[in-house]
Amino acid sequence: MPPGYHSAATGPPTAYQAVKRGAGVRDLSAEGRLGVSGADRADWLQGLVTNDVKALESGRGCYAAYLTPQGRMLSDMRILALDEAFLMDVPATNVPLLRERLEQFIITEDVRLWDRTNELGRLAVHGPDSPRVLAQVLETTEPIDPEQLASLSEHQHRRARWLDTDLVIAGSNDLGTRGFDVYLPPPRLPQLEAALLEAGASRVDEATWHTLRVEAGRPLFGVDMSEETIPLEAGIEHRAISLTKGCYVGQEVIIRVLHRGHGRVARRLVRLIEETGEGPSDRGPDAIAPPQEAGSEPQDVPRFTRDAVIAAGDREVGRVTSAAWSPDAGRSVGLGYVRREFAESGTRLTVLSRNEHVEIVEITVASL
């Protein structure tokens, strides 16, 4: 599984509550980053990805996808328009494929595409107190108003300087709360992380990050989306697709579904919330928490798992793609695909997982 997915358990409560009530920090450098520079970079990338990158002014950004000619996803990505280049956040496993595919379209254009994964680290800082914590650390070099950081919209970014290092700070809604991604040279990243922890942030482990992502309803490529996924099935069209830009790879299929099919696809990604929030002691013998490391805090596991069958009566109508135990909700939450006729908010379904039938009291179409 790619970074950001965890098999089952919720991490330590302190990390979870830090993001919910304070500030949490996580090193996301293991994810991939590509750079695109050159005088023709905007025109070139405009014809390849689903969103309108030509409309981006320096300091802005967008979420987008790169599709096959059949309209299926090869990758999703975040694109930041820096002064001198585009910076693209992509799944690490997709970096070689994207470089190979995209470089084929560089013919006479003044474009350079390169792997920046080892050039720039990425540190995520999330939670309602994240502007204050980040500003407190940065002010050791230059004064910065926490409200200025808090005003950054998703993908909007600015430059800053810390010690002798240039940073890029981008707004992020990946966990459903105020957050930032800080890009900087990898040798400086541990020092910045330590300073953020000293200023009051808590380190966020992979299991907690997974739980927060699932709670926020954010699909993850390689888990909730794959090379078989049409963006409309995953509900990302409002964030990732421009309906006013020119042609891009796979556009014909997307427009046909939207205009002729009125946006109807065979399945839709939905959020799942179980009917009751039973604790681990109320679950069956197969629903036990995994072994804990010595000294670690107790963890909870969801009552259903990835790839569990979603049923309406005795009919299979879908599968779970992500599952987590929500400490705030006190119940299992998840993401999964269901047939379109069952993808209506309020539909009651059942997840068949382990030795249990877990009643789903609420589903919401995942269109974040």
- Domain boundary assignment for the chain: 13-211
The residue among 297, 364, 358, 368 whose CA lies nearest residue 332 is 358
* Structure-block tokens of residue 113: 């595409």
CATH class, 13-211 region: alpha beta
* pLDDT class of 282 with cuts at 50, 70, 90: very low
Quick one: pLDDT at residue 360? 73
Going through the chain in order, the beta strands assigned E by DSSP cover 24-27, 32-37, 61-67, 73-81, 85-90, 112-115, 121-126, 157-162, 165-172, 179-184, 202-203, 267-274, 309-312, 315-326, 331-339, 349-353, 356-365
User: For 14-18, what is the mean pLDDT?
Assistant: 93
The residue among 179, 185, 175, 191 whose CA lies nearest residue 138 is 191
Is residue 125 within 8 Å of 196, Cβ to Cβ?
A: yes
User: For 252-278, what is the mean pLDDT?
Assistant: 86
Angle subtended by helix axes 189-198 and 130-138, to nearest 10: 120
Distance CA 304, CA 273 (A): 11
Residue 262 pLDDT more than 90? no
Residues 6+ apart with CB under 8 A from 181: 28, 89, 122, 123, 124, 125, 169, 170, 172
Distances (CA, A) of 3 to 64, 205, 300: 19, 11, 20
pTM of the model: 0.89
Residue 367 pLDDT more than 60? no
Handedness of CA 361, 365, 366, 368 (dihedral sign): negative
User: For 8-12, what is the mean pLDDT?
Assistant: 55
Give the least confident one: 85-94, 177-186, 351-360. 351-360
Residue 208 pLDDT more than 50? yes
* Residues making up the chain, counted from first to last: 368
For the chain, counts of helices (H) and of strands (E): 10, 17
Residue-wise pLDDT for 144-179, tens only, equals 999 999 999 999 999 999 999 999 999 999 999 999
